[in-house]
C-alpha cells in the first residue's frame, strides 16, 4: 500500500556524499522538526531527471524556501557516489540534499517502486514529490508512468 497524505514517513537510512566519502544519515535527522520538500527520480543522469526534474528544484529553491520549506531533498535508487557525481555535474551546490536510497528500502517502504528492468535499471523509485512537516506527509504528487507533470518544482510551489 502506498503512502498517503497524513501518514508518517517510514524509518529509513540514506547515504549522502561528503568530502570525506559516503555518510549514513537517518531519515529522522532529515525530516524531524523540519518542513521538507522531497522529490524522487528514477535515476541520476537519466534524461528527464537531468534536464527538468533536478534543475527545476535548484532553480526554485529560493521560492520554495520563501514558502516555508526548510530543506529540499532528492532521493533515487542510486548509490551515494552516483548521486554525488550527478549533483556536482548539475551544479546543485547546497540547494538540494542528495539522499541515496541505494537498495530502494525507502521507496519500498513508501510503496512507490517501479520496475525499470526493461531498461536494465531493476527496481527503482517512482517519480514523485512530497512535502513532509516533521515527518508527516502534507502533500504528495505521484507521477503516472512516463510522465513529468505533478512532481515538478513548479507544481509543488503552486500547492504551497
Residues recognised as catalytic:
49
β-strands 128-133, 35-40 pairing:
antiparallel
Q: How far apart are CA 34 and CA 41, in angstroms?
A: 22
CA 153 from centroid of its chain's CA atoms: 11
Q: Which cell goes with 85?
A: 557525481
Q: How far apart are CA 17 and CA 121, in angstroms?
A: 22
Q: Which cell goes with 78?
A: 542510486
| Cβ-contact 121, 78 below 8 angstroms | no
Residue 81 backbone dihedrals phi, psi, to 5 degrees: -65, -45
Amino acid at each position: 500500500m502506498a503512502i498517503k497524505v497524513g501518514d508518517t514517513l517510514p524509518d529509513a537510512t540514506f547515504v549522502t556524499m561528503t568530502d570525506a566519502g559516503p555518510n549514513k544519515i537517518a531519515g529522522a535527522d532529515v525530516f524531524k522538526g523540519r518542513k521538507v520538500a522531497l522529490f524522487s527520480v528514477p535515476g541520476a543522469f537519466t534524461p528527464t531527471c537531468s534536464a527538468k526534474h533536478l534543475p527545476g528544484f535548484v532553480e526554485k529553491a529560493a521560492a520554495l524556501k520563501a514558502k516555508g520549506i526548510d530543506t529540499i531533498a532528492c532521493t533515487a535508487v542510486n548509490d551515494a557516489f552516483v548521486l554525488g557525481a550527478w549533483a556536482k555535474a548539475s551544479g546543485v551546490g547546497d540547494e538540494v540534499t542528495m539522499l541515496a536510497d541505494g537498495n530502494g528500502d525507502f521507496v519500498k517502504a513508501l510503496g512507490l517502486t517501479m520496475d525499470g528492468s526493461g531498461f536494465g535499471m531493476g527496481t527503482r523509485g517512482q517519480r514523485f514529490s512530497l512535502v513532509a512537516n516533521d515527518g508527516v506527509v502534507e502533500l504528495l504528487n505521484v507521477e503516472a508512468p512516463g510522465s513529468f507533470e505533478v512532481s515538478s518544482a513548479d507544481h509543488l510551489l503552486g500547492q504551497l
